[in-house]
Amino acid sequence: MVAQLIDGKGIGQTIKAEIAEEVKELVKQGCKPGLAVILVGDDPASATYVKNKEKATIAAGMMSRLIRLPKETTQEELLSHVRQLNEDDDIHGILVQLPLPKHLNEDEVIRTITPDKDVDGFHPVNVGKMVIGQPTYLSCTPYGIIELLERTNVEIAGRHAVVIGRSNIVGKPMGQLLLQRDATVTYCHSRTPNLAEMTKQADILVVAVGRAKMIDASYVKEGAVVIDVGMNRDENGKLCGDVDFDSVKEVSSAITPVPGGVGPMTITMLLKNTVHSARRACGIEQ
């Protein structure tokens, strides 16, 4: 079996075009969605992510505001920026690029963003709403993965989904969103014994481990759908996933590449969440 390629880049572009159309209509009605991104310090990977977010926001016809702060910024200074953005009517989404320098308290920063503008979906209130199935901002990476599955007609209900990874930003919300769509969900993590025994039961396998090419064909059931969240550098410095693409594409029925799979969807869903927030703030229902 040779796997179908799940084209996140193409699907992301389609959704971005839909968003741009929506934004045009909103702007005509005097409502321009605005996203503010705070970047603390000069981590090169974070700077690249932020630049890509800014580019995508502007390309969608939205307003982008980047606030760059030096790495010595204090917790109180950072919180004060967040509070100002909470009060700013031109801003509908606030994103603080993580990770923050070690001396800063991420949890407190996330809790300070008003849940109404928490387009990353990390605020405990929004996480709680997501878990009990109330409308809220969904965490962008798992939300993007659900879109990928739905837009490629992958059946979720009744399937066994195995998620490797239990971080607050990817693994945990991923399992919850799959559960809400009636999958039977198993979480695996670094303390899971016999990982391959678990993953070989997956109809849908989501890998969010952060270890280059760790999951090869020996972990995958014939015909499974494999979603690779990983963004790592291989021994030659080339971007690669957590999945050994060349071996897994031979056994899976569908697979996301890296790059061009999950990555482009994350930014796309951030734009979607921001537009949703703007609609709410402007009182323009869909």
Q: Which residues bind ligand NDP (CB under 6 A)?
A: 141, 164-167, 169-171, 188-192, 195, 208-211, 229-232, 242, 262-263, 266
Q: Is 120 left (phi over 0), alpha (psi -120 to 50) or beta?
A: alpha
For ligand NDP, give the closer residue by CB, 31 or 35.
35
Q: Which positions ≥6 away from 148 have C-beta within 8 Å?
A: 6, 8, 11, 227, 256, 261, 262, 265
Enumerate the active-site residues: 53, 97, 120
Q: Which residue is nearest to ligand NDP (CB)?
A: 167
Whether residue 80 is annotated as binding a ligand: the answer is no
For ligand NDP, give the closer residue by CB, 48 or 84.
48
Q: Is 283 left (phi over 0), alpha (psi -120 to 50) or beta?
A: left
For ligand NDP, give the closer residue by CB, 33 or 165.
165
DSSP secondary structure letter of residue 198: H
**Cβ 19 to ligand NDP, closest distance in Å?**
17
For ligand NDP, give the closer residue by CB, 6 or 31.
6
Whether residue 167 is annotated as binding a ligand: the answer is yes
Whether residue 65 is annotated as binding a ligand: the answer is no
Residue type, 82: V
**Cβ 18 to ligand NDP, closest distance in Å?**
20
Cα distances (angstroms) measured from residue 217 to each of 7, 100, 206, 224, 255: 20, 36, 14, 11, 12
Cα distances (angstroms) measured from residue 205 to each of 7, 72, 237: 17, 41, 26
**Cβ 281 to ligand NDP, closest distance in Å?**
26
What's the first-to-final CA gap in the chain, in angstroms? 42
**Cβ 27 to ligand NDP, closest distance in Å?**
28
Binding-site sequence positions for NADP(+): 165-167
